[in-house]
Amino acid sequence: SWPVQEGGRSTSYIRRIPFFSFSSTVEADFNGVHYTPRIFCLCSLTSSCTSLSSFDLVFRRRFGLRPRTTTRTTDHRRLSSSATPPNSPSRKKEKAMGLLNGIRLSARRLLRSRPFRNLALLVTLYVLLDALRYQRRVTSAPRHDPSRPRRAERIYIAGMHYNDASVIRTHWNKAVLDLVEALGRENVYVSVYESGSWDDTKAALRELDGVLEKRGVRRNVVLDERTHAQEVEDVPAEGEEREGWITTPRGKREMRRIPFLARLRNLTLRDLWKLGEEGEMFDTVLFLNDVVFTTEDVLALLDTNGGIYAAACSLDFAHPPSYYDAFALRDSAGQATLMQRWPYFRSEASRAAVMAYSDAVPVRSCWNGIVAMPAAPFLANRRGAAGGIKRLAFRGVDDSLAEEAHLEASECCLVHVDNPLSEQLGVYVNPRVRVGYSPAAYEAVNPGGGRSWLSVWRIVVGVWEGRVRRVLTSERVKEWVVRKRLKEWEARGGGEKEKRSEKGVDCLINEGQVLVYNGWAHV
């Protein structure tokens, strides 16, 4: 824009031509005022750029300016380039910035291109339709076949409680009573063991015991007054060897958590063993954790895989959408779960079954809220290697393995390793049966009204998060550490010593757990 005096008025002439090439300054006087504007030499699409001196000459003639003998011309980029050494930091920085700008411009062109937008649209549609397909499976599949005739099963119900008064009073007692009525009072035996609670758990279980007695249901409700504090304070004397006690990395004798829990779970089976010795048999053992559940949940679980299984487990939730008990759950390849949100598993067989919403997801072990197992392995007396009578029971790993190798395993995982039916009939998780450790958790995973407990967004995130995790993460290092320590422990038991072994390698983790006065702790 250049101001020019015409007819007593000051007028600006503007010339617009696309793409500028280089610049110059021209000095001029208008009505005694000195102007030094910058003139941009522009190139049109159809003509080449004129030289700077020719442009100055044409411009001066157009506006009646006197030609100057000198014209100052500057090409800043050319001067700076020639003045700066090629390997200087500033030149390197300029090259890097140029490269980044080039990448940014290329990416911008790609994102704005029609083929890329069409591809992005197709991918989005595929992901959305895929998620809707999975969600339709969840909403359309029945929990179990209600038309399937149910035979009169004899079921041994085992429960274990510790500071669970709230859920027992509001849900658990009623759910057990409803279940007993559905299965038939004459077909069930209820065994409950409570251990050292300091809340109102004992009183709540006394209420259940009273109602079962009035209804003529056989049961055994044990309320143990011995607390955790008393357990951990009963330290073995110097030199005394007592099962479940080890010297921990903290440098003191402490009681392991897993052998303690295994002993309590076996106490819930005492009446099953006693009745079996007297000739009374049961078809199924139903283990009930301190969860919110319904009779429909249990009936669906009993029908898992058409009723053919060595164990069938529900999915348990404390803080949905993450499942709760990761300690005992192992996929079909014996690995820990990939993530605690749907679709959970790393192995293809387990993951595919979950995504297909099958009622029988194959796993190596599970213990998630409610577990149904055939009673035969718990009742059958089998001769052990030493000739003694041995039946299926809960256990922990050897104390020396826990102390020397710092390895631990859940008793609820090891029971599947020891179960002779696991290889023959299979262990399954039934994702159609979901229980919660609180009413809110149960309602979140059982919304009702034909609604899906998995949102489309949760499905999309789960599918792609699982794919990324399978590529970027691995359990091989953890497994190598565990197997190495196990082999070293087994080797130290060779020679003249008794040979040591642990077949539940899939259950082992690099961890220590001990009992404390108010629960348990890692060591």
**What confidence tens digit (pLDDT) does each residue in 271-319 have?**
999 999 999 999 999 999 999 999 999 999 999 999 999 999 999 999 9
pLDDT over 50 (residue 36): no
Res 434: pLDDT:
97
Res 495: pLDDT:
56
pLDDT over 70 (residue 167): yes
Helix axis angle, 114-140 to 456-472, nearest 10°: 110
Res 463: pLDDT:
93
**Averaged pLDDT score across all residues of the chain:** 84
Q: Is the distance from CB of 283 to CB of 153 less than 8 angstroms? A: yes
Query: What percentage of the chain carries pLDDT values higher than 70?
Result: 79
Res 505: pLDDT:
97
Q: pTM higher than 0.85, yes or no? A: no
- C-alpha 389/C-alpha 381 separation (Å) is 6
Q: Which of 248, 231, 258 is nearest to 502 (CA)?
A: 258
Q: Could you tell me whether strands 219-224 and 253-255 are parallel, antiparallel, or unpaired per DSSP bridges?
A: unpaired
Rg from Cα positions in the chain = 39
**What confidence tens digit (pLDDT) does each residue in 210-254 have?**
999 999 999 999 999 999 999 999 999 888 889 999 999 998 999
Res 256: pLDDT:
97
Res 496: pLDDT:
58
**What confidence tens digit (pLDDT) does each residue in 381-404 have?**
654 444 455 799 999 999 999 999
Selected residue with higher pLDDT from 125 and 66: 125
In this prediction, residue 50 has a pLDDT band, given cuts at 50, 70 and 90, of: very low
In this prediction, residue 31 has a pLDDT band, given cuts at 50, 70 and 90, of: very low
